[in-house]
Structure 1
Amino acid sequence: MVSLIKLVCIDLDGTLLDSKKHISQRNAETIRRVVESGVHVTIFTGRSFGSAAHYLKELDIRIPAVFQNGALIIDPVSMKIFRSIELDANLAKRFVELARAYSVYPVVYESFFFEKDMAIENTYEGAFEQYFQLNSHRIRMVEDLSKELSQKKSVVEIALVGKIESVNRVIEEASAKLKNGYTVVENQKREREAFVEIFGPGVGKERALEFFLEMYAVTLEEVMYIGDNLNDASIMRMVGTSVAMMNAPDEIKMIAKHVTDSNDESGVAKALERLLLRERVGE
């Protein structure tokens, strides 16, 4: 007999949010019904707290949630921080230097809570331009990222954006030269470019899940995860019920146990209705 689902973790971009970055009425209403049925529902996102908090408020999420791929776990109501993992600034500086050597675009994310938390040296051009346009209010232009990092003890993360082979070479050289103390999170690939994030040690949505298993005394089999991209792969392999969006890359759909409709078709709601709500009412 399949265990009842007791915890649902949902990604934001490409999953709960449609292409216009909105939560559909059907998604919001279905999540409300799931919570009323006694299931814990929370958000697991790569977004910063500042760029995601209003969505949690819209959904009335009242339990801890995961931001920046697990580097931050915080209760959005009480603002109690349960986990905060940063990247040593010296390590961050080494990644910036390696990025320059291989013509990879580095982005420094300086703080979990600063409004302008993204530092860059020049304007980005490439497959991820929309991301930088949508987050332009967060960006601070600096003359020299290495110099900025020399004045800090730690930062939240470094993003490496560029040709897939170039980003891979940065990661490979870092692995050969640098000691432990960082986590590589593959976020997205688009038009032969990669967006990879470097966090402090022990970061990842799958690592964040460990906190929730203990807090709510649930097993992996009792967890549902809904996502759409590369940073969702590891956690999807772990949980009892994994759901990929129709708009997810094929490699993610192959990992997931279920595939639902796209983020523009309220795929989250449809998955919850089919896999959870019917199960709980015995339909």
Structure 2
Amino acid sequence: MVKFICLDIDGTLLNSNHEISEKNKAVIKEVTKVRNIPVILVSARMPKGINFLQEQLDIHEPIICYSGSLILDKEKNILFSQYIDNSYIKDIVSEAKNLDIHISLYKDDNWYVEQLDYWALQEKEITNIEPNVVEYTKLLTQWKLESLGCNKLLCMGASENIQKLRDILLKRFDKQLNIYLSKPTYLEIMPKNASKTLAISFLLDRYNIEKSELMTVGDNYNDMDMLEYAAFGIAMGNAPIEVKNIAKDITLTNDEDGVAWAIEKYVL
């Protein structure tokens, strides 16, 4: 019996046009309003990139942001937050610049860039969020004084350069940070002790729900831990083969209402 549903957003809940289909909306409405089952949105996105989707779905639950390094309750208060150490950020920014890679910094509900280059403009168009343009030297100095860092770093660039950066950072920070490709041109970096699974486990405790009653749906490598963790871990039809191989079941693609199909099969 499924009593708690956690959905990835990009490539899962959203179709290729970055929209929630009417079918997915209808099924999620039935689950939340008729069955009273919580639906939690779980993403590498910042809060601003999740809140408007919650509004579209009329969901009033906590959200898991930055792949687990930030959890907000339904009133948008911080339940959990984990920051990347300032010294690590400085080194990563330096390495990224050496490889001509764009790097974005995310802290709480703010997105920082040094300039509105091609990658920043592309991400702005996808998310419909306006970044703060700042000089990183000044920003990092301020964070150091406040003993703070950021929840996430996003590196964007040519795939061969992104792979080089990944190899460099894994050798240097594998024990301190979670470093993974979300697509060939995107490298995402989060605190080591933050993950989608840990964030979901945190919420299960708050709701007093067992792991055996959990459904998770995702499409990418950073969803693998939550798919393995859940009793009902469902991979999207558009997921890579490695993700499909560890899932309990495989649904349709994100352009075929795969989320609705999975919920109808296991919940309704």
TM over 0.5: yes
C-alpha distance in 2 between matches for 1:175 and 1:230: 16
Q: Which amino acid aligns with 1:64?
A: P
TM-score by length of 2: 0.86
Judge conservation of contact 2:41–2:50 (CA < 8 Å) in 1: no
Q: CA RMSD in A?
A: 2.5
C-alpha distance in 2 between matches for 1:214 and 1:241: 18
User: Residues 266 and 136 of structure 1: is their aligned pair in 2 closer, same or farther, counting only changes over 3 Å?
Assistant: closer
- The share of aligned pairs that are identical, in percent, is 28
User: Residues 175 and 12 of structure 1: is their aligned pair in 2 closer, same or farther, counting only changes over 3 Å?
Assistant: closer
Question: Which segment drifts farther, 36-45 or 128-137?
Answer: 128-137
Quote the residue 1:280 is aligned against: none
- Structure 1 residue 180, shift from structure 2 partner: 5.0
- Structure 1 residue 56, shift from structure 2 partner: 0.8
Match of 1:120 among 114, 134, 143: 114
Judge conservation of contact 1:124–1:132 (CA < 8 Å) in 2: no
- Structure 1 residue 103, shift from structure 2 partner: 3.8
Runs of 5+ in structure 1 lacking a partner?
A: 278-283
User: Residues 53 and 172 of structure 1: is their aligned pair in 2 closer, same or farther, counting only changes over 3 Å?
Assistant: same
- Structure 1 residue 164, shift from structure 2 partner: 4.6
1:84 partnered with 2:76: no
- Structure 1 residue 246, shift from structure 2 partner: 1.6
Quote the residue 1:19 is aligned against: 16
Quote the residue 2:59 is aligned against: 61
C-alpha distance in 1 between matches for 2:37 and 2:173: 42
Match of 2:123 among 131, 145, 161: 131
Q: How many equivalent residue pairs?
A: 263
- Runs of 4+ aligned residues of structure 1 deviating over 6 Å after TM superposition are none
C-alpha distance in 1 between matches for 2:218 and 2:81: 23
Q: Which amino acid aligns with 1:106?
A: I
Judge conservation of contact 2:224–2:246 (CA < 8 Å) in 1: yes
C-alpha distance in 2 between matches for 1:179 and 1:276: 38
1:184 partnered with 2:179: yes
Quote the residue 2:153 is aligned against: 158
C-alpha distance in 2 between matches for 1:73 and 1:140: 22
C-alpha distance in 2 between matches for 1:136 and 1:79: 20
- Structure 1 residue 118, shift from structure 2 partner: 2.8
1:237 partnered with 2:228: yes
TM-score by length of 1: 0.82
C-alpha distance in 2 between matches for 1:186 and 1:236: 17
User: Residues 21 and 166 of structure 1: is their aligned pair in 2 closer, same or farther, counting only changes over 3 Å?
Assistant: closer
Judge conservation of contact 1:122–1:141 (CA < 8 Å) in 2: yes
Runs of 5+ in structure 2 lacking a partner?
A: none
- Structure 1 residue 95, shift from structure 2 partner: 0.7
Match of 2:38 among 37, 40, 60: 40
Quote the residue 1:247 is aligned against: 238
Quote the residue 1:173 is aligned against: 168
